[in-house]
Structure 1
């Protein structure tokens, strides 16, 4: 299932070249991904942290294809994939799209860890929600 949110480039995110600074692309992806995790997976970061469960990123790769400009209204997509090897990882393929063109694409990988330390895992509540998710075939 592809999840989508719409945002507008903020003036303070524009650099001296009059394009959005590369630092902000992952932030917009994070906003969308966190909403997906909260709304679709029913994982509330604040509540889970208080219960001793941290969801953290373990890796990401990002490709910048085109630049956004001041005031551009754009969409961020988020699609969840399970791990090919069956590891306790969540893979999120994300894109930033403007005028039907992919501006930036990325894959973010995360897992959960106990707040007290310990091995990565995915809570049963999350496993139940992702059982029908496709498997990420690429690395």
Structure 2
């Protein structure tokens, strides 16, 4: 199940070299991922936080292939994967694509934790969706 959103590079994200600062690529991916989590998984991060359920990242890897420039229009994709080892983790493969070329690729891994502290887990509603998702074979990017 692939999800995507379109964006335009914001002027304030451009560095002195005239390209988008590497810091901002994960932000665009986060915006897309959060929309995916809300719109597709039905998990509203703010609402769940008020209920004491925090969805957090545990790691990510990112590979920069090409630079974006001021005003570039691009698409961010997000695809959900379950955990091969059966751990309570969500894996999101994401790419930034412009003109049919992958500019950046990444894998973000997350889980849920109780706000009061405790062990990682996935709420039942998410666990049932993960059960049907493909399993991530490689925890990184190729």
| Aligned equivalent of 1:72 | 72
Distance in 1, matches of 2:130 and 2:119, equals 20
Distance in 2, matches of 1:79 and 1:125, equals 17
Deviations 1:57-92 (A, max 9, x none): 000000000000000000000000000000000000
Distance in 2, matches of 1:46 and 1:117, equals 18
Runs of 4 or more above 6 Å deviation = none
| Aligned equivalent of 2:94 | 94
Distance in 2, matches of 1:31 and 1:78, equals 10
Which secondary structure state, in structure 1, belongs to the residue aligned with residue 34 of structure 2?
helix
| Aligned equivalent of 1:24 | 24
Which secondary structure state, in structure 1, belongs to the residue aligned with residue 135 of structure 2?
coil
Which secondary structure state, in structure 2, belongs to the residue aligned with residue 7 of structure 1?
strand
Distance in 1, matches of 2:131 and 2:40, equals 13
2:54 matches 1:45: no
Q: How far off is 1:130 after superposition?
A: 2.1
Paired residues, number: 139
Uncovered stretches (5+) of structure 2, i.e. residues with no partner: none
